[in-house]
């Protein structure tokens, strides 16, 4: 007996389809969930707002990690390696360094 694979229909409404730009992701977790806050930071702005928060189970967060790793590899096979841009130090003991929000 053959099993029919159930098709999952996903609706993408126009207001969600436009998306939100984010250039910073803040990740945190509890024993039960992972929290992904997506933020848009602008230069010389004293405050940045969270544009979207996604809450996931640990299992789904790990699935996202593998899916993202796979998609980045496929992207790089097509378009070339994505180079990480790191701020250059100014040599003033960090006084005028550009902060890197993705580095702890």
10-residue mean pLDDT series, the chain (104 residues): 81 94 95 97 90 97 97 98 82 53 52
Predicted local distance difference test score (pLDDT) of residue 87: 77
CA–CA dist 59, 62 (Å, integer):
5
CA distance 46 to 39: 13
The pLDDT of residue 86? 81
The structural domains of the chain, with segments of one domain joined by +, span: 21-79
**Is 67 strand, coil or helix?**
helix
| Per-residue pLDDT, 4 | 74
What CA–CA distance (Å, rounded) separates 1 from 84? 51
Q: Are 86 and 100 in contact (CB under 8 A)?
A: yes
pLDDT at 51: 94
Backbone phi and psi for residue 38, each to the nearest 5 degrees, phi listed first: -105, 125
What is the C-alpha to C-alpha distance for residues 39 and 21, in angstroms, rounded to an integer?
A: 8
pLDDT of residue 17: 95
pLDDT score for 104: 44
Q: Report the side by side order of strands in the sheet with 24-29.
A: 24-29, 34-40, 49-56
């Amino acid at each position: 007996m053959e099993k029919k694979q159930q098709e999952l229909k996903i609706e993408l409404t126009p207001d969600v389809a436009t998306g939100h730009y984010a250039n910073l992701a803040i990740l945190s977790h509890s024993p039960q969930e992972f929290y992904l806050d997506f933020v848009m930071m602008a230069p010389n702005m004293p405050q940045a707002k969270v544009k979207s928060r996604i809450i996931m189970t640990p299992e789904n967060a790990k699935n996202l990690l593998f899916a993202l790793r796979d998609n980045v590899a496929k992207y790089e096979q097509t378009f070339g390696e994505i180079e990480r841009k790191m701020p250059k130090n100014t040599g003033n003991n960090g006084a005028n360094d550009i902060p890197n929000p993705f580095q702890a």
